[in-house]
């Protein structure tokens, strides 16, 4: 009977993970939905307008109306397109956008029925590498969609998207190497724990204090990876006529647009996790409050959300401030400015760490 234990499955564990996956996915969806609303409101306010205010109070039902509209639009698949790939494109964009959230530690563990439930779907020891891998896959949504459309503009957009991703991923990776030197681990939970318990309620141990340049580089690259203005060259309404999703209609188009907002939210979460202490609430020491563990988890979760929303707002703020880069400017910025800067940052970090450890 000893061998039977190998087959014993902790069903609660599986149930718990399934629930968590469902929650995280629906959370990302809802946030992305209201990010579209927020985008329109932020755009309006920065341009002295009011923004959507007809559907529901303050226009809060606007995302639902938009979604409903997209569902009922006619679905057009161009005759000359390669159909399988054409359908695959938006699916890939959506899936890769949602996959990233799997390794994010959303908060401290919850305690339900005497079980510690970790609010991280998978605490794998290569967390950052996983994020990198999935984010790089994200470009396939753009490439396949643009290529399968059989349209010059879409193809140009796909090429632009691919080259942009490759250029900015390098600088992003280099800026993270400096961060990894500090933590010595690729595991997301270790990186967050490394930022807890410093001065000012943890604020002084946030990585952004030690890696300000690294953060700025990471931020710019994240914006480029999300294809947000000023890096929205694959979309480029006025040059490429909406680029890679020009031929798309109905909810397939919706998926592309939606994936962008999910990406934006997730990259906000990743930035908060890597550089801004994750779920750590600054200026206070939560451990001394002597309240139930579940409350701490909820507070931590809200803190993380707050930080992520702040980054989402900054993304929007930048989008409505500056125009799109020209392609040569984009490449110059990526290869001639960010990569050398990231390298310098990495070398300096390495020397300082060596010097301190001596």
Partner 1 sequence: MQLTQRAKQVDRRPMTQLEKLYLWNIAKGMWITISHLFKRKVTIQYPEQKRTFSKVFRGVQILNRDEEGRERCTACGLCAVACPAEAITMEAAERQPGEEHLYKEEKYAAKYEINMLRCIFCGYCEEACPKDAIYLSQTFAQANYDRKGFIYKKEDLLIPNPKEDPDAYQRAVGERVTKPLSS
Q: Could you list the residues that contact partner 1 (CB under 8 A)?
A: 45-50, 216, 317-318, 320-322, 332-333, 337
- Widest CA span in the chain: 74
Comparing CB distances to partner 1, the nearer of 248 and 311 is 311
* Contacts of 354 by beta carbon, 8 Å cutoff, 6+ apart: none
CA distance 93 to 124: 23
Taking the complex as a whole, how short is the minimal distance between the CB of residue 14 and partner 1, in angstroms?
A: 47
The 3-state DSSP class for residue 125 equals coil
State the nearest-atom distance from the C-beta of 322 to partner 1, in Å: 6
* Contacts for 21 with CB less than 8 Å, ≥ 6 apart: 102, 121
Q: How many CA atoms lie within 13 A of 206 on its CB side?
A: 22
Shortest distance in whole angstroms from residue 343 CB to partner 1: 15
Residue (209 or 216) nearer to partner 1, CB: 216
Question: Which one, 191 or 222, has the nearer CB to partner 1?
Answer: 222
Q: Which are the contacts of 95, defined by CB distance < 8 A and separation ≥ 6?
A: none
3-state secondary structure of 110: strand
Nearer to partner 1, 156 or 346 (CB): 346
Residue 195, helix vs strand vs coil: coil
CB of 336 to partner 1, least distance (A): 8
Tokens of 277: 């202490």
Closest approach of partner 1 to the CB of residue 345, in Å:
13
Rounded to 5 degrees, what are φ and ψ at 297?
-60, -40
Query: Residue 181 or 216: which CB sits closer to partner 1?
Result: 216
Q: Residue 40 Cβ, how far from partner 1 at the closest point, in Å?
A: 13
Nearer to partner 1, 152 or 337 (CB): 337
């Amino acid at each position: 009977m000893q061998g039977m234990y190998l087959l014993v499955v902790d069903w609660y564990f599986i149930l718990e993970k399934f629930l968590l996956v469902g929650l995280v996915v629906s959370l990302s969806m809802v946030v992305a939905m209201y990010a579209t609303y927020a985008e329109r409101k932020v755009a309006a306010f920065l341009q002295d307008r009011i923004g959507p205010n007809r559907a529901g109070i303050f226009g809060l039902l606007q995302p639902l109306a938009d979604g409903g509209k997209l569902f009922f639009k006619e679905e057009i698949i161009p005759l000359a397109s390669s159909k399988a790939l054409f359908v695959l494109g938006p699916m890939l964009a959506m899936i890769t956008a949602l996959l990233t959230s799997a390794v994010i530690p959303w908060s401290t563990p919850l305690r339900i029925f005497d079980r510690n439930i970790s609010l991280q779907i998978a605490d794998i020891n290569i967390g950052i590498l996983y994020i990198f891998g999935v984010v790089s896959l994200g470009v396939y949504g753009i490439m396949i969609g643009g290529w399968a459309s059989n349209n010059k503009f879409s193809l140009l957009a796909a090429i632009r998207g691919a080259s942009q991703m490759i250029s900015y991923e390098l600088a992003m990776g280099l800026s993270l190497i400096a961060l990894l030197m500090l933590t010595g681990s690729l595991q997301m939970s270790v990186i967050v724990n490394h930022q807890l318990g410093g001065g000012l309620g943890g604020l002084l141990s946030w990585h952004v204090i030690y890696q300000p340049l690294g953060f700025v580089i990471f931020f710019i690259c994240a914006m480029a990876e999300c294809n947000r203005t000023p890096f929205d060259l694959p979309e480029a309404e006025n040059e490429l006529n909406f680029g890679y999703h020009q031929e798309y209609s109905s909810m397939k188009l919706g998926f592309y647009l939606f994936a962008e907002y999910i990406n934006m939210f997730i990259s906000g979460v990743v930035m908060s996790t890597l550089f801004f202490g994750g779920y750590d609430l600054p200026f206070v020491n939560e451990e001394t409050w002597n309240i139930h563990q579940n409350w701490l988890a909820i507070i931590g979760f809200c803190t993380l959300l707050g930080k992520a929303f702040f980054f989402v707002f900054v993304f929007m703020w930048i989008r409505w401030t500056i125009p799109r880069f020209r392609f040569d400017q984009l490449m110059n910025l990526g290869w001639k400015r960010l990569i050398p800067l990231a390298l310098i940052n990495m070398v300096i970090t390495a020397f300082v760490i060596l010097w301190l450890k001596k």
